[in-house]
Amino acid sequence: MTVTLSGFADEISADPAEQLAVLAQESVTHLELRSAWSVNVADFTDAQLAAFRAVTESAGVRVSAIGSPVGKIPVGAPLEPELDRMRRIADIAGELGTALVRVFSFYIPPGEPPRRYRAQVIDRMGALARVAEERGVVLAHENEKEIYGDVPDRCADLITSVGSPALRATFDAANFVQCGVRPFTEAYPLLRPHLVYLQVKDAHAGTGVVTPAGEGDGEMREMLRALRDSGFTGFMSLEPHLDLAGRQGGFSGPAKFRQAARALKRLLDELSIDWC
């Protein structure tokens, strides 16, 4: 088993040159594109897209996935603008040589039972999946706090109910911890059949504070061991959130990004998992 390391490089810096320098120092060959120059990928102009492609190609770094904000809007917000944003991001993914796009399943009104919105969310996610099918990309749904798919049963139900090969799962252990879920014990068995990607951060159950992999309650060793034994060979994307964590993303800075990268590599080495 060999996994490929990646990371949200905007957690290092807004400047792509500094992003790429730190990735090179840590022998990380891919990045997950969420933003550059403090501009979200969904808002890239054609000129910014061309410039980003040029600097990454020059550095020999490839894009593992687009860390898009699609679906990170209220469930009652108009859908058509989100479908247009999905089309634009799918085109960006194609330009950057990746077929994976991270998405979310819409914020539920505070205090309301998520199940009330099940049919509406499935309909909306199905519409996004149809765009993905048309554009040749795969949507990797992330378990984000406060969206419909924030706990394992709703994540799995959403993917199976939409029933599209263009809608799969990415797995964020820290987000599950912050929702009161034991990631390996309760989430992994339900989501492993759908899993195409891993976003790597950990968290303490008592406080929700984010930590490097293996230093919290995310059951990272158990999950990595199970992935190894099942033959997983996909991407593991660092999303450290060690300085700032918010609804629209996080930040770590160069030193803490390196800390997170080294923690993950120690775990992989401990479990005899090859990485590149």
Q: How far is CA 117 from CA 28, 80, 131, in A?
A: 40, 18, 22
Residues ≥6 apart with Cβ < 8 Å to 166: 129, 130, 132, 133, 137, 138, 139
**What tokens were used for 220?**
């990272």
Whole-number Å distance between alpha carbons of 5 and 157? 29
| Residue pair 250/241 in contact by the 8 Å Cβ criterion | yes
User: Degrees (nearest 5) of the Cα angle 127, 63, 256?
Assistant: 110
Identify the CA nearest to 168 among candidates 198, 213, 210.
Answer: 198
Can you give the pLDDT at residue 117?
98
From first to last of the 276 residues of the chain, give the pLDDT tens digit.
799 999 999 999 999 999 999 999 999 999 999 999 999 999 999 999 999 999 999 999 999 999 999 999 999 999 999 999 999 999 999 999 999 999 999 999 999 999 999 999 999 999 999 999 999 999 999 999 999 999 999 999 999 999 999 999 999 999 999 999 999 999 999 999 999 999 999 999 999 999 999 999 999 999 999 999 999 999 999 999 987 666 667 777 999 999 999 999 999 999 999 999
Q: What pTM, to 2 d.p., does this model score?
A: 0.96
Identify the CA nearest to 178 among candidates 207, 140, 141, 212.
Answer: 207
Can you give the pLDDT at residue 252?
79
End-to-end CA distance of the chain: 11
Can you give the pLDDT at residue 249?
72
Q: How far is CA 71 from CA 104, 107, 124, 254, in A?
A: 4, 8, 9, 29
